[in-house]
Structure 1
Amino acid sequence: MHSRIPRQSAHGPDSRRPDHSDHRDNDAMIGAELAAVFAGARRRSVRDRDPQIDTAHLLHSLLENDPEVREAFGGGPRMARLLGYLVQRSIGYGLRWQGTVEDSGELPVVREPGGLSPLAAVALERACARAASRGGDPARGVDLLAAIVVDGRARAVEVLTRAGIDTGELSARIEAGPWGLGDYAGGGEPGG
């Protein structure tokens, strides 16, 4: 059976991630909605002839597939501009990314076609950790978005900035909204 999410290949002990966990743990930590996001991002990376799925692919797929993520952005003209930048990736500014790897500095660069970029893999780890801190529910799209927007090296953050979206403000909106962790820390239900 194939994994629902792309994996980074490794040789020897896996010391690439701070918690030394195995990606199989993440398979159980993502829901069907997030699996669909990864499938969409994989199709987009293949179509764009990109070597790996990066955070901009994930952002685009999150916006297409997840109503909670769209709600976190709040709509408006900035959302239209953001989608415009994402659509132009294969014909515009994103061309300079072709043939390069979005590097996190935390994982070794592995050029596995169709796999996650190192920075996207770190974002997935963070999204799963965020979900675990909520009580073990599967990671959702807003968990992945929250994990992506906190890293200024992410291509998705560059796209957001070009579209006039303040990632600090977006992160605060996620945490203050029904998707935030504040309500979960005390064992309560989301948003109340």
Structure 2
Amino acid sequence: MQPRIPQQSAHDQGILRADDDAGLSAELAAVVAGARRRAVRDGDRQIDTAHLLHSLLESDPDVRAVIGEPAQIARLLGYLVQRSIGYGLRWQSTVEDSGVISTLKGTDGWSPLASAAMVHAVERARLRGGERAGGTDLLVALVRDPQARAVEVLARAGIEVSGLPARITGPGEYAGDGGAAW
């Protein structure tokens, strides 16, 4: 039986893969694997930014600390869970692409925005002097494009998306009201 989201070579598809040595921390590699499983379970053709956000929230306490209070996290996870039972079903037959990243094609199994977020997370880690991208790097990358599904879900949960990058200084660090931007 063929998997719904086929495994692809990172070099062939131009995407960073968790199972390649592509600059991802072990924790972020697990997030990617979780997002892949979630996409298959939800019946989606591609991993999108909401899949990545959901997996990231479930596994990374630093990301949860940046996003907010436990009540906000619970509301956000509620929206993400509802994705497969109603909210988000309109996404199943569409490709997540805002058009802003028109030169980046979605790779087989990844939406263009999710693919771009993975690349940006690794770039961000390198710019801050890190060897591997972590959860907060991915969170910043997920909220870069206002048309991303992750941004839509965060906004519906009442989370101020524009302020998230400024609250992150680096992996494991929560800046509160300051910190590095993108």
TM-score, normalising length: structure 1: 0.76
- CA deviations on 1:149-182 (whole Å, 9 max, x unpaired) are 1210100000000000010122222249826796
Q: How far apart in 2 are the matches of 1:167 and 1:140?
A: 19
* C-alpha deviation, 1:38, in angstroms: 0.3
| Structure 1 residues 105-184: aligned runs within 5 Å | 105=99, 106=101, 107-110=104-107, 112=108, 115-175=109-169, 178=173
For 1:51, the equivalent position in structure 2 comes to 45
Give the root-mean-square deviation of aligned CA atoms.
2.8
* C-alpha deviation, 1:27, in angstroms: 3.3
Unaligned runs of 5+ residues in structure 1 are 15-21, 184-192
Are the counterparts in 1 of residues 16 and 22 from structure 2 also a CA contact under 8 Å? no
Larger radius of gyration: 1
Partner amino acid for 1:84? G
For 1:186, the equivalent position in structure 2 comes to none
Are the counterparts in 2 of residues 33 and 140 from structure 1 also a CA contact under 8 Å? yes
For 1:87, the equivalent position in structure 2 comes to 81
Q: Percent identity?
A: 60
- CA deviations on 1:4-54 (whole Å, 9 max, x unpaired) are 9985955xxx7xxxxxxx747x73300110000000000000000000100
Partner amino acid for 1:172? A
Count of residues paired in the alignment: 167
